């Protein structure tokens, strides 16, 4: 049986790597689309307003993650509702999803690949 002095550093390392896992879920477009059908889901487009105007997912709320008032604006949303976040390619929405989970949002999901990989029609 390995000694405790050998196991403790290993356990500490495993716990360190677990902390690197995002608190939000990354979903494929198919998973994201299916999840949006649940009642009470909040759909958040974190692109710039001009990008949003060019086409967005139906029912989306636009709050630009790069805007200085992003944290203030998302604070007005219900933190208990499932929140689905997307952007153009998935990078800004991953950033936003991390910010949302840190500020207390319970159920946050990010669209992998963003609208570039979204197979359904966008609305204007």
Phi, psi dihedral angles at 75 (to 5 degrees): -65, -20
Contact status, residue 97 vs residue 27, Cβ threshold 8 Å: no
Question: Per-residue pLDDT for 47 more than 60?
Answer: yes
Interatomic CA distance for residues 102 and 97, integer angstroms? 9
Active-site choice (87, 94, 96, 111): 87
Confirm whether 75 is a catalytic residue: no
CATH number at residue 50: 3.40.250.10
Report if residue 20 sits inside a domain.
no
* pTM of the model as a whole: 0.82
- For the stretch 64-118, pLDDT in tens is 999 999 999 999 999 999 999 999 999 999 999 999 999 999 999 999 999 999 9
- For the stretch 5-26, pLDDT in tens is 555 455 444 444 444 556 899 9
- Written as six digits, the tokens of 91 are 């990078």
Residue 90: domain span: 25-117
The pLDDT, as a whole number, for residue 3 is 53
The pLDDT, as a whole number, for residue 21 is 58
Report if residue 9 sits inside a domain.
no
Phi, psi dihedral angles at 86 (to 5 degrees): -150, 165
The number of folded domains in the chain is 1
């Amino acid at each position: 049986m390995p000694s405790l002095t050998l196991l403790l550093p290993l356990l500490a390392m495993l716990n360190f790597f677990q902390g690197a896992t995002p608190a939000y879920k990354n979903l494929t477009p198919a998973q994201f689309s299916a999840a949006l059908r649940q009642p009470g889901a909040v759909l958040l487009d974190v692109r710039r307003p001009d990008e949003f105007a060019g086409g967005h997912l139906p029912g989306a709320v636009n709050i630009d993650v790069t805007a200085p008032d992003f944290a203030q604006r998302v604070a007005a949303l219900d933190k208990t509702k499932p929140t689905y976040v997307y952007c153009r390619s998935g990078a800004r929405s991953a950033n936003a999803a991390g910010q949302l989970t840190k500020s207390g949002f319970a159920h946050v999901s990010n669209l992998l690949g963003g609208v570039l990989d979204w197979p359904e029609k966008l609305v204007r």
